[in-house]
């Protein structure tokens, strides 16, 4: 049987170990990887899903998706974000940005920060990583990625495979 003092002692050993590694306890355990299939289409054709990724089946239209982020650390911002994409169009790139938004009741308007777009480079059957930066937030804001997926090229679809957030 583990006593309360043994639990406290284990925590006292763990925290200095994390600090030596350059991590705070919150950073050490608050990295989330989401499947691309969590994306919500807001414009364009209906998506296809494969291996928990979201893809654009159209040969002529771009598809636009938002990727939700669960923000359970309201004391600090998001330190690191990445979107893993499969860009299979020979001349058009997948693009994504990290965004922070909040509703202002006084002005009946949505406000926030829309991060710079990051682009894939060239066509490939290998995943590419779009490092989208950090985002600050407050208790009334939420974060999400906004991405554009190009049409198919010669029957090859582009996808959002997954995305990563560290608070």
Supply the pLDDT for residue 63. Answer: 98
- Sort strands 128-131 and 142-149 into parallel, antiparallel or unpaired: unpaired
Residue of 120, 45, 32 lying closest to 84 (CA atoms): 120
CA–CA gap between residue 98 and residue 114 (Å, rounded): 7
What residues in the chain have per-residue pLDDT under 70? 1-29, 73-75, 137-140
Q: What domains sit in the chain, N to C, each tagged with a CATH number? A: 30-166 (2.60.120.260)
Query: Given the structure tokens 């309201």, which residue do they identify?
Result: 74
Residue of 54, 100, 57, 55 lying closest to 77 (CA atoms): 100
Residue of 164, 85, 77 lying closest to 124 (CA atoms): 85
Quickly list H helices, the chain: 4-20, 25-28
CA–CA gap between residue 50 and residue 36 (Å, rounded): 10
The SS3 of residue 142 is: strand
Residue of 86, 35, 81, 33 lying closest to 56 (CA atoms): 86
Which residues make Cβ contacts (< 8 Å) with residue 167, sequence separation at least 6? 26, 27, 30, 31, 71, 72, 73, 76, 77, 78, 79
Supply the pLDDT for residue 105. Answer: 79
Supply the pLDDT for residue 134. Answer: 84
Tens digit of pLDDT for each residue in 40-72? Answer: 999 999 999 999 999 999 999 999 999 999 877
The SS3 of residue 161 is: strand
Residue of 14, 129, 79, 86 lying closest to 6 (CA atoms): 14
Q: What is the mean pLDDT of the chain?
A: 83
């Amino acid at each position: 049987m583990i006593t309360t003092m043994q639990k406290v002692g284990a925590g006292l050993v763990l925290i200095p170990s994390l600090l030596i590694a350059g991590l705070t306890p919150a950073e050490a355990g608050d990295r989330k990887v989401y499947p691309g299939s969590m994306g919500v289409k807001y414009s364009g054709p209906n998506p296809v899903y494969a291996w928990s990724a979201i893809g654009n089946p159209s040969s002529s239209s771009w598809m636009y998706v938002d990727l939700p982020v669960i923000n359970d650390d309201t004391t600090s911002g998001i330190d690191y974000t990445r979107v893993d994409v499969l860009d299979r169009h020979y001349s058009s790139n997948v693009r994504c940005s990290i965004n922070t938004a909040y509703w202002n009741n006084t002005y009946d308007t949505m406000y926030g920060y829309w991060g710079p777009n990051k682009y894939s480079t060239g066509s490939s059957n290998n995943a590419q990583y779009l490092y989208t930066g950090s985002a600050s937030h407050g208790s009334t804001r939420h974060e999400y990625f906004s991405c554009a997926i190009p049409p198919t090229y010669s029957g090859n679809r582009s996808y959002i495979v997954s995305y990563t957030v560290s608070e």
